[in-house]
Chains A and B, each alone.
Chain A
Amino acid sequence: MNITQIIFWILSVVALFSALMVITARNPVYSVLWLIATFFSISGHYILLNAQFLAIVNIIVYAGAIMVLFLFVIMLMNLNKESEPRKHRLLKLAGAVSGGSLLLVLVAALRDTDLKHEHALVNEGNIGLIQNLGKELFSTYTVPFEISSVLFLSAMVGAVVIGKKE
């Protein structure tokens, strides 16, 4: 087992554990903090796959901007106490069982695919570097890039319109 595999397993365990803590923590603030841990471990996976641009964007956009927004809203509504009413235990069990059976079905379906012998290139290959991605983004994908700026503008206007007091 070389160092890449060890890092892969550590990052996977951290990602799964912190994702589980997101959905089990009673306090919403702890959920947000565990979610940040999940995003950092996913960024570690991106670095392992040598997708450095996406790793940095993931940290800046998700762990930085979006999570600060979540924390801000939670603090604003003063939800940082364990105020969530208990859901019925049976309903919780039903949710967990249905999610688990979905996982079971998908794993059983994908266990014997043709992809079994394929490998993902780790640690090398320079398609994830910003030089290549930037060149592609501003040549082939110029129109979607510009449209996404319009999307951002409309999201901003929508958030302000929805959020402002009548």
Chain B
Amino acid sequence: MPINYYIFLSLALFCIGIVGVLTRRNAIIIFMCIEIMLNAVNLLLVAFSKMHHLKNAAINATAGTDGQIFVFFIMVVAAAEVSVGLAIIVMMYRNIHSVDVNFLNRLKH
């Protein structure tokens, strides 16, 4: 499969995530859009690792393993991030009784 297809697929997913972050006001949905962006990057890393493997398999039989290890660590960090982020959203809901990010404009005034 040409690597170009994977690049453009990941770009499209990443930009969908960005549009979601820019257009929605619900903090939970903004958070989910960040997850989409992380997953787009993961997909591209895996595709690149397989590309690297195809190129260098003759020299090194395990070429490209590093990319998939990085994806694993990205997933680990994302899981930790989600737990803390959802705790922050719960606290925000408890304080202002809404998850609308537009209420969080105290720094603006």
Q: Which residues of A contact B (CB under 8 A)?
A: 4-5, 8, 12, 15-16, 19-20, 22-23, 28, 31-32, 35, 38-39, 42, 45-46, 48-51, 53-54, 57-58, 61-62, 65-66, 69-70, 73-74, 76-77, 79, 84-85, 87, 91-92, 94-96, 98-100, 102-103, 106-107, 110, 115-116, 118-122, 125, 127-128, 132-133, 136-137, 141, 144, 148, 151-152, 154-156, 158-160, 162-163, 165
Q: How far is the CB of B19 from chain A (nearest CB, A)?
A: 3
B28 touching A73 by the CB < 8 A rule? yes
- Mark contacts of B66-93 with chain A using CB atoms, 8 A cut-off: 1 yes-contact digit, 0 otherwise: 1011011101111111111011111101
With A22-B29, A58-B75 known, 12 other A-B pairs at CB within 8 A are A28-B26, A35-B32, A38-B39, A57-B75, A66-B78, A73-B90, A79-B28, A87-B25, A100-B15, A120-B1, A127-B64, A159-B83
**What does DSSP make chain A's interface, helix, strand, loop or mixed?**
helix
Complex: chain B residue closest to A106, CB-CB: B11
Q: Which residues of B are found within 8 Å of A57, using beta-carbon distances?
A: 72, 75
Q: How far is the CB of B101 from chain A (nearest CB, A)?
A: 10
A103 touching B15 by the CB < 8 A rule? yes
A133 touching B72 by the CB < 8 A rule? yes
A4 touching B79 by the CB < 8 A rule? no
Total number of residue pairs linking A and B with CB closer than 8 Å: 237
- Chosen A-B contacts, 13 in total, with CB atoms closer than 8 Å, are A8-B5, A16-B13, A16-B16, A62-B78, A66-B35, A70-B32, A73-B86, A84-B24, A103-B15, A119-B2, A120-B3, A120-B50, A133-B72
Across chains A and B, which 7 residue pairs bring their CB atoms closest together, nearest first? Answer: A95-B22, A99-B19, A23-B20, A155-B80, A95-B23, A103-B15, A121-B54
A127 touching B65 by the CB < 8 A rule? yes
Q: Which residues of A are found within 8 Å of B82, using beta-carbon distances?
A: 66, 69-70
Q: Which residues of A are found within 8 Å of B86, using beta-carbon distances?
A: 69-70, 73, 159
B99 touching A79 by the CB < 8 A rule? yes
Q: Which residues of B are found within 8 Å of A4, using beta-carbon distances?
A: 1
